[in-house]
Amino acid sequence: MNVASDRRPDPPDLTDALDRLWRQFLPQMFERVSALETAAGPLSAGNLTDAQREMANSSAHKLAGILGSFGLPEGTVLAREAEALCSSGPGAAPAAAARLWEITVVLRSLIQNRK
Amino acid sequence: MSHRILIIDDEDDIREVAALSLETVAGWDVLTANSGAQGLARAIEHQPDAILLDVMMPGMDGPTTFRELRKNPATAKIPVVLLTAKVQSNDQRRFADLGVEAILLKPFDPLTLSTQIAAALGWK
């Protein structure tokens, strides 16, 4: 039967192909981080709309689901934390917004600097 | 012997990385669909050996798609592996209760995804 254990790929082939996909989807990664950045201000001010919350939540969820597959497990951990912060209700503490902002800075850097 | 896998996921990046992984690492034949509805149609038409199904999709979500697959005699016996980024145990239990063959977590390792699927489905 044809499973990974008896047909290991040439790792550079997979790595190169993943790098091509990463470049292809890089704009989407930044768009998702931007959605989190957009939510941080209103979250801090206590006036995050449902639409903004949903967008930020969805963006964080998508980042959490893909960054680890591209070799950025720390990005997945941070995106999961961002998802939890965005899911908190309208009375989220200012500290939550500050933490969300910190996370976006690190996520942007991780994505920018992926080798 | 090769396997034919249908990947149903609305996210282009996840779908393409999974397809790349299964084709490159395992040499499997991969079909893709970007929605539950498209996935149902492809499953009926192509009769894959297994389906890798995303949970959170707009419109027909993964659990709904799974129930539709099971309702249709043409697809009822195709093994389904759910792929989810939901890591909380209550979510996992809810998905397991659906009756899927396995649940795999995102993010997956592209180098081992096929091994995980094969192990979950008892493929040697």
As for the ipTM of the complex, it is: 0.90
Q: Which two tokens stand for residue B25?
A: 């690492």
- Picking from A34-43, A56-65, A106-115, B82-91, which range would have the lowest pLDDT averaged per residue? B82-91
pLDDT at A105: 97
Which phi and psi (to 5°) does residue A109 adopt? -65, -45
Cβ neighbors of A31 (< 8 A, separation 6 or more) are A59
- What is the pLDDT, as a whole number, of residue A11? 63
Beta strands B80-84; B102-105: pairing state = parallel
Instruction: List the domain boundaries for chain B.
Output: 4-121
Q: Return the DSSP state at A69.
A: G
Residues of A in contact with B109 (CB under 8 A): 68-69
Query: Average model confidence (pLDDT) for chain B?
Result: 94
Start-to-end C-alpha separation, chain B? 10
pLDDT at B38: 98
In the structure, what pLDDT confidence band is assigned to residue A2 with cuts at 50, 70 and 90? very low
pLDDT of residue A41: 86
Verify whether the Cβ–Cβ distance A3 to B87 is below 8 Å: no
Q: Residue A94's pLDDT is what?
A: 77
Is the model's pLDDT at A30 over the cut of 80? yes
Which residues in chain A have their CB less than 8 angstroms from residue B21's CB? Answer: 14
Lowest mean pLDDT among A2-6, B65-69, B78-82, B99-103: A2-6
The pLDDT of residue A8 is 55
Min Cα–Cα distance to chain A from B71, Å: 29
Considering only the top CATH level, what class is B4-121?
A: alpha beta
In terms of CA atoms, which chain B residue is nearest residue A25? B13
**In this model, does residue B20 exceed pLDDT 70?**
yes
